[in-house]
Structure formats: C-alpha cells, structure tokens
Structure 1
C-alpha cells in the first residue's frame, strides 16, 4: 500500500452534506464531494490487511457481507492515495457498470466487512467510489466506447432497472445488439421512479449514463409493457435471447380495517408520482403531503424516502412506524464482524425530521390495528398498539401485543412502505414461466436460465427484493450466461 500506516495516522471523515435548512427547499442531491487532497487521505486509511473481506460478496446470516460485484476496493483506494485517478477509474469500472449509482444509494456492505472496522471506523469506501467516478465524468474520461465488432445476435432485455441496465451494458460490450423494454415513460426502473431525486439526480446522473449507453448502441423502448403491449413470444421470435429483469414490484399490503380509506397509498406510488412531478414540472397529478399529518408505515429505505419527500412537499408532521425493535448503537455478540452490522443508523430523512420537529420520526415496536375514516371515507387517524416479539416452539418470532398501549394518531396521509412480495405476475402467467416458492421467476443463480429456452431472469425478478448492487451483480452474471448460450 502507498501509506502502510495511514489507518493509524488518519481518522475517518466524510464530507458534510448540504445543510438541512437548505436542502429541504429543493430536490437537488444532498451528497457532496471531498477535495482531492481529502480524498487521498481517506484512500490512505485502507489497510494492507491480507484478506480484504470488503470485496468478498459473501452472504452471512442471510445478509450481504462485502461487495456483491467484488469491487477491487484496496486497489483503487491505493490509487486514490497515489493520485492515479485515471487508473482508479479503470479498476472501478472493471467490476461495476454504474459506480455513480452505487456511490450514492448503496448501503455499503463493503464497509460493514472492512477489516479496519473491527476496532476503528471503517474506510470510507462508498465515498471513495463516488469520488472516483465523479472525477472521471468531470475530466471527460467517460466517453462512449461502442464495440468494434458485432456478433449479429440480438437480445431483448425486459426492464430497465439496475439489473436490466447492467445486463444490457455487458451484452452490448460483448458485441450483441441489445434492445431494452420499459413500461414507464422513462428508462431507469427504480433508479428513476423508485429513488427520490435528492438521492439520485435523474437528469444529471441517470441520464448521462443512459446517453453513454445509447451512444454505444443500446436501444431503449419506453411506454411498452411486455406481456400486454407485446408478448414474450414475440420477443423470442425477434431475438436470439431474452433477459427478464422486471423487478419485484408487487408491494406488501396492510391488511387492517379501514385499508380502503382515501388518502392511503403504497409508498412506491407516492414516490413515483412525486419524481414525475419534479421532472415534468407542470404535472398536477401527484399525491401531495402539503399541510398534512403523514404517517409512514415501514422503517426501511423506502420509508425514509417517504419521510424526506413529505418534508420537501411541506407536510405538517411526519411519523414513521417500525414494527421491529430499535437497533443497538454498537454490534452485539450475536452480530460479529464481518456480518452486516445491525446497528442504529440515522439516515437523511430522520436527520431532516429531527432538525425540523425536534425528534426522530421513528416509533419502534408499533403495530397498526386500524385505519380510521372520517364521514367522507378519507383517513383521519390510525389506531396502534405497542408489541414485543416472542418465539414459538419452532423458534419463529411472533408479535405479542402489550396491554394498555393503544394509541390514536392523527393522519391525513398514510404511506405503506412494508417492502415487496415479488414480481407482478401478468407476464409470468401469460408466458408460462415457472416460479419458485417465493413467487419469483425460477432460475438458478449462475446460469439464470428459466424453463423457457433462450429466456433468462435476473435481479429482483429472480432473487426477490434486494439491493441495487445485488441487481447489478445479477445483470452482469446473467449477461455472461446469455453470451455463453449464444455461442452454443
């Protein structure tokens, strides 16, 4: 390593984000960059640790440990320290098609398994990745590089989220003709309509990558839903292979009395419509939190995005319900390194709510029992109880309601952010695709082949709801399998 004692000499630092009072007034990204000198110092903290678990991509205890795309993290950290930015870009792009996406929205399982993280704050791996790719764009190094030769083979990719785009990018680089189908009016899948603009800018970040892919020969088709506007059979006839990467967009619902009240929406609908308004400016058709008491049911990233979006829309108040217990501040003995640390985190939405309203918006160990309507059928409140978790004889956890903990919460807008159950089944049923026990398209990790000849599945549609970086990994490896199939 360039600085063998860097991890001893330097402390972990990250750039200050845009101040809350400023960023909640707009939809611009809140993340900022380091100076090059500061970035070099953070790169120097990477240890010569012998076995770098940070790029292992293992699954331990049902959670990702290390980078799923096996980023060559120690190498490009060292190159940052030495000021060899162009070489660092090449090493980064060798394993990750879209580091500008993961550098913004990935939860960084790499940092959770950083060796330095055993007894010191981990290396700023995610920030370093962000610095490298943004340097590349700023310096003009990210020029389109279309393949020199074409195979004559064509592949249709269904879905333009991170898995679909990664598969398309890899297949195009291998010389195949690729056409990506997206049912929405814009390319990007959840990158465009699932993640708010303040986390991932659509015009400045997503579009610039799509422009490169188009210039390299990838064709994009929008407002076309495979299974409705065009059949999978037609795609099979027109192409040599098909990759299904439609995501896991079937939202988990809340089955309680009053669920049919007006003003109760799935989080994904709320976020999509808001992003569309941000992009289209004059679009009046969206769900607004302005001057409303908002309750978000669900404590994950999507729930946090709903909190932050509601704040920017000018909500009166926002509360986030979490059915699980509050995580501890430090790792527990049952959650050792290099597992993903199940510790308390203050994300950007909670930070904003705390500064505005004086308290963290999250309420833990709380269960919704009823959505209460007013005389017109609109939501006016939510009835909840506090719970504890207990185990049955088989070791499965189940909630136990605590006596005398019932509470009524005023609510004008309720957003359900309880995760996803799997892919929508219109295309699956119409095409006769086999499904696994969790309703995902059945295809083994490694070859990604479905029961239909020449049809492959990748990303959340195959794996179930997961991380953007996992989707990129799936798309890359599915592309390799498709390439092998085309060569048979």
Structure 2
C-alpha cells in the first residue's frame, strides 16, 4: 500500500535545468541529474487514490501507482519489470511525452500532480545502468514473416512485439538511420540519439532485422505474410499567403532534420542556419518550440515565435476540466532559454555561441507572441526580409483581425511549424492502393487492417496501419500504444489468437491529446 500521507510530506520537485548560457553551448540534454533520494520522494507522493485516473490518461495503460510504490520501497527491479510490461520504450516517453497521465492525476485536483514522467525515466535509466535491459528472444519460430515500413516509435514498438511473438520481422526505413522523427525531428537537447541506438541493440539481438536507406516496393513486400505501415504523417501543412515562394521560408521539419544531421556528424554546419539572423517561427506547438531552442543554439540574433491562439491561462481552463489534459500556460526549456536576460557578464565563448554581440544588456534572447496572424511575406532579391501580420480575436468561433493592429517585422529566416497534413501517398503506398480519409489519414478498420486496392498483381500479404498515419499526428506515447495494439492484431490474424498485451483497441478509438 502506498504512503497515504506522502503528498503531505513532500512537495512536487523536478530535476534542475543546466544554466542557460552553459547548455546553449552544446546539444546535450538540458536536465541535471536528480539529487539522491529525490525520485523516491516524488514517487512517495502517489497517494493510493483507489481509482487511479492516470491509467486512463496514459494511452499505454501504464500501471503507474504500482511502480511508483515499488520505487518508494526501493524495489527498483520490480518497478522496471512492471513498467516494461506496458511500455517498450519508457526512456523515450520519459523524455518526450507531455505526460497526459499527470493531467489526470487525482492529486492534481487540489495539489501539484505526481511527477510521473520523471519517475518513469528514472526507472528506465536505472534498468540500463544495472544491466536489466537484455534481449527477450522468442521461445519459438512461427514461420511467419512480417514487414514493418517505417521505424518511428510506432514501427519500432510493432516490430519488437511481433519479434517476441516468434515472427521474422524486417523493418524498412528509407532514411539512413532508424528512429523516424525521434531521430531527425526531435532536437538532441530534448533526447540524444544515442538512446535510440542503445535500444536498437536490444531489438537487433532479439532478432529484428533493419534495412535502412530502403523504400520497399509492393514486389518487395509480397514475400511477407503481413505488412505494417507505420510511415507517420510527414507532409507539412502549408501557409498559402503572399510571398510564400521567397527564399528563406522553410517547413520546420526540414530545418530540424538538417541540424540533427550535424549532431550525427554528417556535416559540419546545417544548410539552413539561424546564426546571426532574425528568426520568426510560425506555430505555437511543440515543433515550433523545438525550432526555437535550435535557433538559439545556432546563435540567432533574435527569435520570435508566433502563436495564432490566445495565451493560455496560468491555471487549468474550464474547457479542459480534470481529468482532461489541462490547457495552461507552459514554459518549455526552449522558452526558458528565450527568457534569459543578457547580463553583460557573459564570457567571450558565451557571447559568440549565443549571438550576444548584437544584443544589449537586459535584452532577452527570444520571445513568444500570441493571437498573431501572418498576412504576407516580402523580400529583396528573392529572399524574405519582412513579415506582415496582425492581431486576431475569436468571434463566433472564427478568428478575425483586430482593427489597427497591423505590424511589420524583420525576418531573415521563417520556419513554418503548422502541423502536418497527413501521410505521404506516393511510392509503395500508391502501389498498395491505400485509401485515405478527408484528413489525410490512411483508412483502416477496428483491427488495424488497411483499406487497399493493390496495383501489384496477386499481392498476398494483409496490410495494417499503425501510428500517426492512421490516427493523425499525435504523441509518442500514442504511437507506441498503437504499435503494440497493431502487433497484437497482426499476431491474432496470423496465428488465430494472440497473447500479446494491448492497451488501446479498437483502432477507431477517438483522438486524445
């Protein structure tokens, strides 16, 4: 039984952040190691509420109260096993998930929620440090072959589950490395790619085969018994305004991809670079925030992030009552960096790295602006130089311009972080004749089976869809949950039954945060 008074003994505490001038000098993760005993204290705050809504808040159905209490009792190995029973990659979600479980925490009704995400990460890292992460090899061979197209979190989760079920699994990844947007879309200061490589070692030892730099054709896939499409939603949403064709305006993922390749050692400097430039990021979500932190590390002269939405309230909004994921004003680590105020005491190295030579004492590195709409871009010699916009308000559910709020802002680099328009439709997707809905998602049934009309004659395998390409752009925790659920559906179809666990089913479950 948990300590029913733990939340009265300890306040919510999170690991400290590295000093801003220090962390902007490199691409390492921003968090300091938690002090000895802090994680166990935080796990003790889990209060044995009786009806743990965190289960419903977590798409994976993580058994959160149980591993919290095991950590409280210093029973880390048991906590590790309990965590991995529902989550293949807790070291990924512990770093990247926005923690909808914490939004649903019962303690959060009247107090600060339990730091579930930090406890999860600590358990995962303790497992790697103690050598508990070992290959879980199948006990028998089914003789069935499964292809997984795409190696993001959904594809990786599906592949690992199907391999452990005894199938011969081959993962196809068109990029030169495995990981999807985790590797080439998420900046290394949020999650270093070495953690992906570390988990891949386990998967390869279990028997999963990875073929990188390969875009399979229908003919390639016809040799398999089942095909799982986990290709994500990489098509960026556009901004169709005057001047969009000017040089210097790019989709956010193109920009992030190039910097991540620098971090991988492929090139010395990103082809799209913010150093010394006035950078405007259009889009207030996670991708825009990732661009914010990346531009600061590249030494941008000024970074401004536009959000068309109004600034969220400090406390939970009435529109997102508990246990929904709360609409509140949040400060990401990148925004914390933007709020850093130049002191005038920075070292020469810090001035060079932070682009402070152009800044006055007391100036912030970056800023966020709310209720802003972009009207047009203008340039010189074919390159963007200014952005024109206005402030907006919501009237009868529509955003309309506010009179006399027009403005113009210098812009040397503009990054469009407006979300994604859906999955790609060419290549093998076209060959398989996959159907799409009006939102750009692949059509599938409640058992993850895709609606297809293959152009390839006598195409044999059943086709399944997992992750964002069927669900729409969502969270890493949903991708892993979908990969696990899809794997169970494939295994059941191939074998007539399955013992693989599944947290979310059917595939048509409504969208969440």
The separation in 2 between residues aligned to 1:333 and 1:324, in whole angstroms, is: 16
Could you tell me which residue of structure 1 aligns to residue 103 of structure 2?
Answer: 112
Q: Once the 2 structures are TM-superposed, how far is the Cα of residue 273 of structure 1 from its aligned partner?
A: 0.5
Could you tell me which residue of structure 2 aligns to residue 210 of structure 1?
Answer: 200
Could you tell me which residue of structure 2 aligns to residue 361 of structure 1?
Answer: 367
The separation in 2 between residues aligned to 1:310 and 1:176, in whole angstroms, is: 44
When normalised by structure 1's length, the TM-score is 0.93
2:26 counterpart SS class: coil
Does structure 1 retain, via aligned residues, the 8 Å contact 2:337–2:365? no
Deviation larger for 269-278 or 326-335: 326-335
Q: Once the 2 structures are TM-superposed, how far is the Cα of residue 9 of structure 1 from its aligned partner?
A: 1.3
Could you tell me which residue of structure 2 aligns to residue 83 of structure 1?
Answer: 74
1:221 aligned to 196, 200, 211, which one?
211
Does structure 1 retain, via aligned residues, the 8 Å contact 2:153–2:476? yes
Mapping of 1:370-449 within 5 angstroms? 370-374=376-380, 376-391=381-396, 397-426=397-426, 427-444=428-445, 446-449=446-449
Deviation per residue, 1:78-113 (Å, 9 max, x gap): 000000000000000000000000000000000000
Does structure 2 retain, via aligned residues, the 8 Å contact 1:2–1:82? no
Deviation larger for 320-329 or 347-356: 347-356
Does structure 1 retain, via aligned residues, the 8 Å contact 2:148–2:172? yes
Deviation per residue, 1:171-217 (Å, 9 max, x gap): 011111111011111100011001001111002x1110011111111
Q: Once the 2 structures are TM-superposed, how far is the Cα of residue 38 of structure 1 from its aligned partner?
A: 1.3
Could you tell me which residue of structure 1 aligns to residue 494 of structure 2?
Answer: 486
The separation in 2 between residues aligned to 1:278 and 1:428, in whole angstroms, is: 31
When normalised by structure 2's length, the TM-score is 0.89
Could you tell me which residue of structure 1 aligns to residue 271 of structure 2?
Answer: 286
Q: Which structure 1 segments of 5+ residues have no match?
A: 57-65, 392-396
Deviation per residue, 1:39-59 (Å, 9 max, x gap): 111111001111100011xxx
The separation in 2 between residues aligned to 1:133 and 1:73, in whole angstroms, is: 13
Q: Once the 2 structures are TM-superposed, how far is the Cα of residue 332 of structure 1 from its aligned partner?
A: 2.7
Does structure 2 retain, via aligned residues, the 8 Å contact 1:277–1:286? no
The separation in 2 between residues aligned to 1:104 and 1:432, in whole angstroms, is: 37
Q: Once the 2 structures are TM-superposed, how far is the Cα of residue 281 of structure 1 from its aligned partner?
A: 5.1
Q: Once the 2 structures are TM-superposed, how far is the Cα of residue 283 of structure 1 from its aligned partner?
A: 4.3
2:313 aligned to 328, 342, 367, which one?
328
Deviation larger for 353-362 or 97-106: 353-362
Distance 1:265 1:159, change over 3 A: same
**In the alignment, does 2:261 pair up with 1:260?**
no
**In the alignment, does 2:13 pair up with 1:5?**
no
The separation in 1 between residues aligned to 2:74 and 2:101, in whole angstroms, is: 22
How many matched pairs? Answer: 466
Does structure 2 retain, via aligned residues, the 8 Å contact 1:33–1:131? no
The separation in 2 between residues aligned to 1:223 and 1:52, in whole angstroms, is: 44
The separation in 2 between residues aligned to 1:158 and 1:245, in whole angstroms, is: 6
1:86 counterpart SS class: helix
The separation in 2 between residues aligned to 1:214 and 1:430, in whole angstroms, is: 29
The separation in 2 between residues aligned to 1:185 and 1:418, in whole angstroms, is: 26
**In the alignment, does 2:222 pair up with 1:243?**
no
Does structure 1 retain, via aligned residues, the 8 Å contact 2:302–2:366? no
1:355 counterpart SS class: coil
Could you tell me which residue of structure 2 aligns to residue 142 of structure 1?
Answer: 133
RMSD: 1.3
Deviation larger for 421-430 or 342-351: 421-430
Mapping of 1:294-305 within 5 angstroms? 294-305=279-290
Deviation larger for 7-16 or 428-437: 428-437
Could you tell me which residue of structure 1 aligns to residue 295 of structure 2?
Answer: 310
Q: Which structure 2 segments of 5+ residues have no match?
A: 342-362, 453-460, 497-513
1:472 aligned to 477, 480, 489, which one?
480
**In the alignment, does 2:338 pair up with 1:338?**
no
Mapping of 1:11-50 within 5 angstroms? 11-50=11-50
The separation in 2 between residues aligned to 1:456 and 1:33, in whole angstroms, is: 41
Q: Once the 2 structures are TM-superposed, how far is the Cα of residue 359 of structure 1 from its aligned partner?
A: 7.2
Does structure 2 retain, via aligned residues, the 8 Å contact 1:297–1:414? yes
The separation in 2 between residues aligned to 1:223 and 1:282, in whole angstroms, is: 18
Q: Once the 2 structures are TM-superposed, how far is the Cα of residue 285 of structure 1 from its aligned partner?
A: 5.2
Could you tell me which residue of structure 1 aligns to residue 466 of structure 2?
Answer: 458
The separation in 1 between residues aligned to 2:69 and 2:270, in whole angstroms, is: 49
